[in-house]
Structure 1
């Protein structure tokens, strides 16, 4: 099967039925995302969410950064592995939708560990002196290369960075694409693969996740 062929509903159900169960709070958030937003496909979803949770639990990070909150589904998945005194900073610019992640963050058992900021992530990264153990980026694709450049100095050895949507519905295979978002995702993938300070693998889960580890 091509990575870009749609997985059959039967296979999708099989994968979900043979993965660890989704916490109830995430089930409710996923349902409300589909009810209340115009682009619910932007949510990380069940399988990707379980991947984020498992990676977070493996690392037990003290400091997580998420760029692109949307409704907060991925945020809550990432909190599952937080160290006892750890925190996650999640950043978005969508003020109109902010009520939805805030609602579920307040309800979460990790509410005191979630710092939700409405601001430009590039500004945040230029201003902060924090060092992160785990970074998840699912935001404006045209800034992916800049995010990588800004984050490089903000992660320590052994830290993990994840970029979402790096296969871009197969458009990364296009040569001389005129679409800027496609060009920038191609640029990111090239940058990461050539950077000797990192090791990486693109996982063909959903629309592709670039899994990157700082050496």
Structure 2
């Protein structure tokens, strides 16, 4: 399903800052290796998430739904050196791709990948969050929201 006219999407893409070589490789590997590769955030969403984190001055971010790690790495770019991003997922194949690129990125040390059910992972967090990005199983969005903001 297309949400945006293709001409508008092309315009936005052309006028969005490049994501860099690492994220370009990550997106390609996502399409080559994983099921449902269209779920990758990609350049436009990734740069937008980074901008949001920058504008908020976020130091603590939670992401529900890691997939291959594109959005986590995008947001981690905006974090200060002492910033932290927790990201939750339970798909072992996607987690393997994410871990590979987290290890390659200079921002990967800011990321903690929480493997398993997201609601269980959220329940274990004790830090105050500055930002949350929910991009997981749509049927649980309200549950995730309520777990993050009780």
The runs of at least 4 aligned residues of structure 1 exceeding 4 Å deviation read: none
Q: Which has the larger radius of gyration?
A: 1
Matched, 1:36 2:33: yes
Native 8 Å contact 1:71 1:98 kept in 2: yes
> Per chain length, whose mean CA-contact separation is higher, i.e. which structure has more relative contact order (CA < 8 Å, sep 6+)?
2
Cα distance in structure 1, aligned partners of 2:15 and 2:88: 32
Which of 86, 101, 104 is residue 104 of structure 1 equivalent to? 101
Q: Secondary structure at the match of 2:93?
A: coil
Aligned pairs, how many?
A: 149
What residue is the counterpart of 1:15 in the other structure? 12
Residue in 2 that maps onto 1:137: 134
TM-score by length of 1: 0.65
Aligned to 2:56: 59
The partner residue of 2:45 within 39, 43, 48 is 48
Gap change, CA 1:5 and 1:119, over 3 Å in 2: closer
Give the 3-state SS of the residue equivalent to 1:132 in structure 2. Answer: coil
RMSD: 1.5
Structure 1 residues without counterparts, runs of 5 or longer: 154-215
Runs of 5+ unmatched residues, structure 2: none
1:72 aligned to 66, 69, 87, which one?
Answer: 69
Offset of residue 5 of structure 1: 5.1
Higher strand share: 1
What does residue range 64-213 of structure 1 map to in structure 2 within 5 Å?
A: 64-153=61-150
Q: Distance in 2 between matches of 1:44 and 1:28?
A: 13
**Bigger fraction of residues in helix:** 2
**Preserved CA contact (<8 Å) 2:13 2:43:** yes
Describe the superposition over 1:89-133 as per-residue Cα deviations: whole angstroms up to 9, x where unpaired.
111011133210011000001121111111211112223222111
Aligned to 1:157: none
The change in CA–CA distance for 1:29 and 1:145 in structure 2 (over 3 A counts) is: same
Q: For the residues of structure 1 that align with 2:38 and 2:102, how far apart are their CA atoms?
A: 20
